[in-house]
């Protein structure tokens, strides 16, 4: 518990320092995929109430313990046939990366009587093995999503390449922020461009510096 408190404080201090020019520190989403639901509970006492999981099955399993105290974000790749299992239980899907998935989220959300907030995942480094919309297709994709009444786009998300090259990472984070700003200026009807989810344990400081509004931090808290 004391350890956890120290780690949360260290992450928050870094976020505040690096985001100072932006006037607002990014929201800390604690990625809890490494630990049991019970190990997550102390976070609530430290004021961390946003948690991220990358698998539908883990959300189902942890929900009975965590559902009351925490808002759960789905951050990992989502199969269309599993949307129905989380549609009522997550506050934000970060990983919308294709139109067929948007259509299924729309369908299930309307069935559940809600509008599902989503982020559009962008493949900013053009990695062939990774999900996400290529940069140049983001505007048309946002317009297509805006026609679906069961979803509401709230922003963009990116997962950076696994590299220690910090200048390269900072450049990609900055590029994401510029894309986010252009999307905001475009002011697409039915799209609320408010959140930019990027940065993980090894690079959340750079993401905060570049203007992230949400960071997803797992191992820096739990390992």
Ligand X SMILES: *Cc1c(COP(=O)(O)O)cnc(C)c1O
How near is the Cβ of 35 to ligand X at its closest, in Å? 11
Give the residues across from 31 on adjacent strands.
Answer: 52
Contact 91, 72 (CB under 8 A): yes
Specify the pairing of strand 50-53 against strand 116-121. Answer: unpaired
How near is the Cβ of 147 to ligand X at its closest, in Å? 27
Farthest CA pair distance, the chain: 48
The secondary structure of 137-171 as a DSSP string is GHHHHHHHHHT-TTEEEEEEE----S---HHHHHH
CB nearer to ligand X: pick between 77 and 143: 77
How near is the Cβ of 220 to ligand X at its closest, in Å? 6
How near is the Cβ of 194 to ligand X at its closest, in Å? 19
**Residue 73 within binding range of ligand X, rule CB under 6 A:** no
How near is the Cβ of 204 to ligand X at its closest, in Å? 7
Among residues 132, 150, 211, 218, which is the contact residue for ligand X, using CB under 6 A?
218
C-alpha span between 119 and 91 (Å, rounded): 11
Stretch that binds ligand X, among 41-49, 96-104, 176-184, 212-220 (CB under 6 A): 212-220
Q: Which of residues 152-211 bind ligand X (CB under 6 A)?
A: 159, 200-202
Stretch that binds ligand X, among 14-22, 105-113, 131-139, 214-222 (CB under 6 A): 214-222
Give the residues across from 97 on adjacent strands.
Answer: none
Among residues 7, 12, 33, 143, which is the contact residue for ligand X, using CB under 6 A?
33
CB nearer to ligand X: pick between 83 and 148: 83
Backbone angles phi, psi at 189, to 5 degrees: -55, 130
41 contacts: CB under 8 Å, gap ≥ 6: 65, 66, 69
Among residues 19, 32, 54, 123, which is the contact residue for ligand X, using CB under 6 A?
54
**Residue 219 within binding range of ligand X, rule CB under 6 A:** yes
Give, in order, the Cα–Cα distances in Å from 102 to each of 115, 133, 191, 203. 12, 12, 14, 29
Stretch that binds ligand X, among 163-171, 175-183, 187-195, 215-223 (CB under 6 A): 215-223
C-alpha span between 221 and 223 (Å, rounded): 6
* Position with the least CB separation from ligand X: 218
**Residue 55 within binding range of ligand X, rule CB under 6 A:** no
What residue ranges bind ligand X (CB under 6 A)?
31, 33, 54, 75-76, 159, 200-202, 216-220
């Amino acid at each position: 518990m004391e350890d956890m408190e120290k780690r949360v404080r260290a992450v928050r201090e870094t976020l505040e320092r690096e985001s100072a020019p932006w006037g607002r520190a990014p929201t800390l989403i604690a990625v809890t995929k490494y630990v049991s639901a019970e190990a997550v509970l102390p976070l609530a006492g430290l004021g961390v109430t946003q948690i991220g999981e990358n698998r539908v099955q883990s959300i189902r399993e942890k929900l009975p313990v965590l559902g009351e105290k925490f808002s759960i974000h789905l951050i990992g790749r989502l199969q269309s046939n599993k949307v129905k299992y989380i549609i009522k239980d997550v506050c934000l899907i970060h990983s919308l990366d294709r139109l067929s998935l948007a259509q299924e989220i729309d369908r299930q959300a309307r069935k559940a009587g809600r509008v599902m907030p989503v982020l559009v995942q962008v493949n900013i480094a053009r990695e062939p093995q990774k999900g996400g919309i290529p940069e140049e297709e983001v505007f048309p994709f946002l317009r297509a999503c805006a026609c679906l009444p069961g979803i509401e786009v709230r922003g963009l998300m990116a997962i950076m390449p696994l590299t220690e090259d910090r200048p390269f990472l900072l450049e990609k984070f900055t590029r994401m922020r510029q894309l986010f700003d252009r999307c905001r200026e475009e002011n697409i009807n039915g799209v609320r461009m408010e959140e930019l989810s990027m940065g993980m344990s090894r690079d959340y400081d750079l993401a905060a510096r570049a203007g992230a509004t949400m960071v997803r931090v797992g191992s820096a808290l739990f390992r």
